[in-house]
Amino acid sequence: MIALIQSPWRWMPALALLVFVSYWQTLDQGFHFDDDNTIVHNPAIRQPVQWLDLWSDPEAFSRTPGAGMYRPLLLSTFAINHAWSGDRGWSWHLVNLALHAWVSILAVQLARRLRCRRFRLCARDCSSLCIRSALNL
């Protein structure tokens, strides 16, 4: 077990696989909550994308008047994802799964860098919290 945790090339793929196994059933789901305003009906992320607007206009975040937020990197990834697959939900969820796996791996790396006293437990807890937090998807 210690060798598995100490060698990133062994646990990183296992952790990423755990994320995908945990959430694979979300791939065929549609959009939810505020996705209608920020993704489905948001003209700012459709072609032709006005990249400067994404990085300068808070109102580009949502088509709802007054619901602007300055989130240019998020909107840029939305525009790229929309150019890749349009409104097909599976690709948006696949990108979310990949990002979620990456963040879970970073959580374990953080525990390693902080040299937690009980590294195995700390790393397990950090990654478990990240992986099983459905709010991240």
Query: Mean pLDDT of successive 10-residue segments in the chain (137 residues)?
Result: 58 81 83 84 90 92 85 92 90 86 80 67 66 58
**pLDDT at position 101:** 83
* Per-residue pLDDT, 56: 93
pLDDT of residue 135: 53
| pLDDT for res 127 | 67
C-beta of residue 116 within 8 angstroms of C-beta of residue 124: no
pLDDT at position 8 is 64
**What's the Cα-to-Cα distance from 71 to each of 20, 54, 60, 76, 91, rounded to whole Å?**
26, 8, 9, 9, 21
pLDDT of residue 5: 52
Q: What is the pTM of this model?
A: 0.71
Place of tokens 């796996």: 101
Listed by start position, the domains of the chain span: 1-31+88-137, 33-86
pLDDT on residue 131: 67
